[in-house]
Structure 1
Amino acid sequence: MPTLLDFLLVLFFVTIGIQIVYQLIFIIGLSRKDNTTEPQLLPISVIVCAHDEEQNLKVLIPALLEQDHSLFEVIIVNDRSNDATFDMLLAEAARDHRLRMVHVNRTPPHVDPKKYALTLGIKAARYEWLLLTDADCVPTSKSWISTMSAAFNDQTNFVLGYSPYQKLPGMLNKLIRFEALLTAIQYLSFALLKMPYMGVGRNLAYRRSKFLEGKGFNNILKITGGDDDLYVNQNATSKDTAVCLAAGAQMTSVPKLTWGEYNRQKLRHLSVGKRYKAKHKIILGTFHVTWILSWIVGILLLALQHRWEWVAGLLVLRLIGWMFTYSQACQRLSGKFEMWLVPLLDFIYAFYYLVAGLRALATKRIQWKN
């Protein structure tokens, strides 16, 4: 008669098997050709929402105005800033006609501030194609706009880009970059396999007409977060979504510097995931549950010394698979990561995700910024 240990062993085999299947899916997806062709001579509106981002904007604005694209505008939405953002933008806009400011004095009650600010920026845009990023980002090249535009065509409504985090000292930074690359592996590979389910607002493009005709964020206006991933999840399809992975089309972002800031950001992201389409929740849920279970059940079986040779061997095989997947992703995305750290970060992130996920399920009030 099967014992509890036999059941746990079977469960362990199943979770490892599912994890390896996901690794193969990611590798196959990332091997697909993206939608980058030749840069399009299309006018583009770059939109950035900023709340107390004066210092970051002093870096971002010059980098945007130095872009080599032939026709574009930069719209900075000053969202109730308490610093000198307004005066700085006023002076910068007077120097360059391509820079425009949209000022937000107040946000209507029960409306997410970020989505309200972004909506005002989109309505103020002159051009059809919108290219979004955040105030704490910097383009990796002067051809960011033109390279992203190389994925635009008549059938496309969305273009998903990649946005890595800056490399800084410390374990927190390594975990943040590990998670960012993992997230990119998932949403970019699935999009390349014709199943887009999210994008990141640090590097995302879509049509103004698509946004306005679909009433923008109307269905998610009260939800904190989701102006990027949830909007893509609800509106993007396999036929109208393109991917741009070129090195020159990336946006580098400043990572959180404290665990508290990172926890709040993670909580916001996970709380939005609850509203994804059912099929996407099943796919992503299965991935994360089997990830966590492979460690929990594996450690338990090792502690009980039940078929420990098989258990240890499969855990090592799974980790080798992830190291190879991360290596392939770095090659495709023209990035670097400390591969020797992947096993340790894989272990830490599994349990961090478990705790953060349970918090996200229990938390009802999430904030973007005050």
Structure 2
Amino acid sequence: MTIRILTGVFIASFIIQLVYYLMVYIRIIFHHRAPEKKENFAPLSVIISAGNEAENLQNFLPLVLNQDYPDFEILVINDNSKDETAKVLSEFSSRYDNLTVLDAEKNTSGSGNKKRALTKAILRAKNDLLVFTDADCYPVSNLWLKKIASAYSNDTEIVIAYGAYEYRKGFLNKMIRFETFFNAVQYLSFADLGFPYMAVGRNLSYKKSVFLKTNGFESHKNILSGDDDLFINEAADRKNTKIITDFESKTISIPKHSFKAYLMQKRRHLSAGLKYRIRNKFIIGTEITTRFFFY
């Protein structure tokens, strides 16, 4: 009896996994490249929240500042940094006219709050088209902004892109990069299918108008994480969301160096996942459960 039950569970899990791979995840392979545009790029604003990121800003901010794009501004918001972040940003702003440096307000505890910082930068942005990345992140190409902008059409309000992690030696790095890639296959495939449920803030774009229309981060302002996935869970739908998978649209981030830091990051992400819509919880939960029983 037990063998029959286990066999039935295995077969059912196999069939469901087959559906996910052959009807959902395979879409990434055949996803068409963004159409090339040589003119009429909309002006945009790049927003970066930075907390104690002096070294990363020194290394990576020039790769954003020197993008091949006709009209863009960069807003970097210093989120209560204790290192040399303010000094580094001051040096850059003296050389680049399109760079604006903002300071985030402190919490009562004196710590930073990324959602509050991002909201300040979004409201300050001059343009409707916004592109987000992190201070410890860099685009792989100087065509990054052009690729993101090229994904927009008349009805598009949100563009979801891929943010990878940098290669380092060791098992932890392999695990982080594999998990990041597989998660991206999931959320990009479902978004392409018409069921967007998350994105990563290190490579995400949306319009200021959709941020204001959905009242920003208000519904989850007291949750530490979720400035990316919880916002997408609330604001994105099959009509207003597109994905971009071109290589030039990719960004790369610096990965965690210890299991403790990695687990803390995962715990924050999982706490945000509990706030997803019921439909999205079902989609993700079914895939994870059947994958567990299958393997």
In the superposition, the TM-score normalised over structure 1's length comes to 0.76
Aligned residue for 1:223, secondary structure, equals coil
Which residue in the other structure is 2:7 paired with?
Answer: 9
Aligned residue for 1:176, secondary structure, equals helix
CA distance in 2, matches of 1:112, 1:61: 21
The one-letter code of the counterpart of 2:114 is: K
- The Cα of 1:91 is off from its aligned counterpart by 2.0
- The Cα of 1:108 is off from its aligned counterpart by 5.7
CA distance in 1, matches of 2:258, 2:290: 29
Unaligned runs of 5+ in 2: none
- The Cα of 1:64 is off from its aligned counterpart by 0.8
The one-letter code of the counterpart of 1:26 is: V
CA distance in 1, matches of 2:217, 2:112: 10
The one-letter code of the counterpart of 1:38 is: E
- The Cα of 1:237 is off from its aligned counterpart by 0.7
CA deviations over 1:154-178 (Å, ceiling 9, x no partner): 2110000111111111111110011
- Stretch moving more, 212-221 or 231-240: 212-221
- Stretch moving more, 220-229 or 85-94: 85-94
Which residue in the other structure is 1:65 paired with?
Answer: 65
CA distance in 1, matches of 2:276, 2:25: 24
Which residue in the other structure is 1:346 paired with?
Answer: none
Distance of aligned partners of 1:27 and 1:241 in 2 relative to their CA distance in 1, 3 Å threshold: same
Which residue in the other structure is 2:184 paired with?
Answer: 184
In the superposition, the TM-score normalised over structure 2's length comes to 0.95
Which residue in the other structure is 2:120 paired with?
Answer: 120
- Stretch moving more, 75-84 or 7-16: 7-16
Aligned residue for 2:291, secondary structure, equals helix
Unaligned runs of 5+ in 1: 296-370
The one-letter code of the counterpart of 1:183 is: N
CA contact 2:75–2:102 (8 Å) conserved in 1: yes
Aligned residue for 2:164, secondary structure, equals coil
- The Cα of 1:82 is off from its aligned counterpart by 0.4
The one-letter code of the counterpart of 1:97 is: D
CA distance in 2, matches of 1:154, 1:242: 11
CA distance in 2, matches of 1:288, 1:253: 26
Distance of aligned partners of 1:237 and 1:112 in 2 relative to their CA distance in 1, 3 Å threshold: farther
Q: Say which structure is richer in helix.
A: 1
The one-letter code of the counterpart of 2:232 is: V
RMSD: 1.7
- The Cα of 1:35 is off from its aligned counterpart by 6.8
The one-letter code of the counterpart of 1:282 is: F
Distance of aligned partners of 1:112 and 1:66 in 2 relative to their CA distance in 1, 3 Å threshold: closer
CA distance in 2, matches of 1:52, 1:183: 27
Query: Among residues 19, 22, 28, which one is paired with 1:21 in the alignment?
Result: 19
Corresponding residue pairs, total? 293
